[in-house]
Structure 1
């Protein structure tokens, strides 16, 4: 595994901001696209998005589910419950992640939806 220098990392960052494909960035620094990809994913900084009631579920703001805890006479919506974490017991739980994190460039630096995105991002 080759190590990248600070100047190579700066070229990668500049390439991301110029919206260059990973293979062009890799050519500029003389590395493989896989190396560039691994470098970006290993050094991105995760940022938590806005979450309804502190729950990172995609359906949290509209969820009307009650009684996941199994208690009788539980009338509180599970998303607002402080006793149980609905993310651990609900089958509908779906984390709210930015879709751009799963495809190149694996970061949200140049995304036009960045200010409006409510999902977790990097």
Structure 2
């Protein structure tokens, strides 16, 4: 369980960088040429990869690739919603709840063998 926690924590950190690399330029660099935004995003994404690669290697010791992917998607939504509300100043939408519930279903199915031993 400790390995999953460490992997998840590192994936949370990497996802913050990923979210800013993917979407932060829409707010901060919208008046700049796209190439400038791409170069800044690549710079941010470097830090994301420096955290994400070890996170996945650690997690892969105890999870399969599908479980790692679903864990990443859960973390993505957990990071994206506060990012869009607090940083991008967008309204929270009920669609985020529905998306979260769908992902929880995916978590159940991908981890049920590990949880229930089925």
TM-score w.r.t. the length of structure 1 is 0.23
More helix by share: 2
Bigger relative contact order (CA 8 A; separation at least 6)? 2
Which structure has the larger Rg? 1
TM-score w.r.t. the length of structure 2 is 0.24
